[in-house]
Amino acid sequence: MKIEHINPAGLLKPKGYTHVITVEGGKTAYIAGQGAYDTNWNLVGEGDHYAQGKQSFTNLIMALEGIGATLESVVKCTIYVVSLNADTLAAVTKGMADAAGKRIPPTASTMVGVERLAFDGMLVEIDAVVVV
């Protein structure tokens, strides 16, 4: 499998993401939205964007590991954030980085500010498309 990251001339230089990704070979997997829940459906970090970003990304990493994938296998990621602003963006991305324990590989990603998520108290949800 070959994953190529492309940032075409004329577009702004991305910070932490890639404008275009092409994939040759491999199998595509779709990871459902991961919220900040533990295995007993307890919400982790109620009211805390950092804690929920960290737990949601930890859950995404566990989902990836469950199919033998890594963060390098992610080709598209969407991050939904309640009350998105500069402060919550910084908190969520720091939580994600801390969960990864390393620099997160760039992917074709989108962060979307939303009014609410599926369950009360959820502030962050992350889904992904992966090639393995």
Q: What is the mean pLDDT of residues 3-15?
A: 92
Q: What is the mean pLDDT of residues 17-25?
A: 92
10, 21 contact by CB (below 8 A): no
Evaluate if residue 1 carries a pLDDT over 90: no
Residues 84, 59: Cα–Cα separation, whole Å: 21
Instruction: Supply the mean pLDDT for the chain.
Output: 96
Give the DSSP H/E element, type plus range, for residue 121: none
Helix (H, G, I), strand (E, B), or coil: what is residue 119?
A: coil
DSSP at 104 = P
pLDDT (tens digit per residue) in 43-52:
999 999 999 9
- For 52, the token pair is 């929920």
Full residue range of the structural domain in which residue 74 is found: 2-131
CATH number where 118 lies: 3.30.1330.40
- Report the DSSP pairing between strands 108-114 and 124-131: unpaired
pLDDT (tens digit per residue) in 71-125:
999 999 999 999 999 999 999 999 999 999 999 999 999 999 999 999 999 999 9
> With a threshold of 0.85, does the pTM exceed it?
yes
Share of the chain above pLDDT 90, in %: 96
Structurally, the chain folds into a number of domains equal to 1
Closest CA to 114 of 102, 103, 124, 128: 124
Helix segments in 1-132, DSSP class H: 49-66, 86-100
